[in-house]
Amino acid sequence: MENMVTIQQLENVYKGKKVFLTGHTGFKGSWMLKVLSLIGAEIKGYALAPQTQNDLYNLIDGEKLCNSVIADLRDKNRLVSEITSFQPDFIFHLAAQPLVRLSYEIPVETFDVNVIGTANLLDGLRLLQKKCSAVLITTDKVYHNYEWIFPYRENDRLGGYDPYSASKACAELVIESFRNSFFNPDDHERHLKGIAVARAGNVIGGGDWSKDRLIPDIVRSLFASQPIIIRNPKAVRPWQHVLEPITGYLILGMFLERQPRDFSEAYNFGPDLDDALSVEDMVKLAINEWGSGVYKIEKEINQHHEAGILKLDISKVKADFNWRPKMSAKKTVMMTIDWYKSLQNNNIDIITTKQILNYLSSK
């Protein structure tokens, strides 16, 4: 099976269209911003400021790619004003407090950003008096994790052990409530809104510098010629390159715009089930691609709970959209490490654009 979408098809949908993108300064948001700019969308971004000069947003000169609004999701009046004044055709909601370990340190802020911030955005959409298709990004961690080998399907029980996971599950309840109350698919001709949820997690790729994430921790250690410290070597995650779900979000937006009654649902985006790797396997692949490096396993004292195994069932997106991942986990790691190695050559915007175009043109 081949991916059904081409860059030309994406251009046909998004070129010249107004896209409101939250989280545009973050890791995933910056990749999304770059892809949208390459396919000709008119973009307004809404997010907090990038944290460092090495953030991808700065390296690709993101300020020139969009109308950038630096503001907080919790500022409801500002968020609603920016949405209604822009009159978007599409909304992609990526902004969040996205870190599990940080959520233990700032649990209330995590719930505030991820739950109330999402409600604020949906209220802005409710006040928008035009047709609009909205794709809201949550996470693979919204599922109640039984620590079993079976992949989670979209209709499985939601839950969350840690504050981050629970906040995203709560956000999905908010989304469902707004969809039922204000954006019911059966009443689309009145409200003109399509609302879909995309669940993806453990996304890797160039430009991620987040604390306590595997690839950024690996890269920082490799740059410093220090041992890579790993906490949960046997933990299995649905690793995927950032371009995989981002393209999936755009395809979902495309179908949602065409048939909002049929696709106002939740969808998993992840790797094939036989391609899930452990943390230790990922570290070994990264070291091999870098050409040097060592790692050691350290058990943390008073370590916070983290899921041991998590897999997603992606049968639904395969059936509905003919979408499937293009890259193996090995290829994903190679592509990611190549991006970071390119930092030394100061051609990051070029390599980022090249990786995007190569991905979109591949089968």
What token pair was written down for 44? Answer: 């307004």
Asked, for residue 323, whether it belongs to a domain, the answer is: yes
Nearest 5°: the CA angle 251, 253, 258 is 100
Asked, for residue 338, whether it belongs to a domain, the answer is: no
Asked, for residue 222, whether it belongs to a domain, the answer is: no
CATH number of the CATH domain containing 151: 3.40.50.720
Asked, for residue 63, whether it belongs to a domain, the answer is: yes
What token pair was written down for 1? Answer: 């099976």
Give average pLDDT by consecutive 10-residue segment, the chain, 363 residues: 71 97 97 98 97 90 97 98 98 94 94 98 97 96 82 91 94 97 96 97 90 89 93 83 96 97 96 85 94 87 61 92 91 94 84 94 83
Q: What is the pLDDT of residue 302?
A: 56
Count of the separate structural domains present in the chain: 1
The Cα–Cα gap between 253 and 19 comes to 11
Q: What is the pLDDT of residue 334?
A: 93
The Cα–Cα gap between 132 and 191 comes to 9
Asked, for residue 281, whether it belongs to a domain, the answer is: no
HEC per residue, 38-86: HCCCEEEEEECCCCCCCCHHHHCCHHHCCEEEECCCCCHHHHHHHHHHH
- Is the Cα dihedral 343, 57, 213, 39 positive or negative? negative
Q: Specify the DSSP class assigned to residue 206.
A: T
**168, 93 contact by CB (below 8 A):** no
Quick one: how far is CA 264 from the chain centroid?
A: 18
- Please choose, from the candidates 323, 361, 93, 340, the residue with its C-alpha nearest in 3D space to the C-alpha of residue 204: 340
Domain range for residue 27? 7-201+242-271+305-327+348-361
CA atoms within 13 A of residue 123's CA, in its CB half-sphere: 15
CA atoms within 13 A of residue 347's CA, in its CB half-sphere: 9
The dihedrals phi and psi of 268, each to the nearest 5 degrees, come to -90, 140
Asked, for residue 85, whether it belongs to a domain, the answer is: yes
Asked, for residue 153, whether it belongs to a domain, the answer is: yes
Asked, for residue 53, whether it belongs to a domain, the answer is: yes
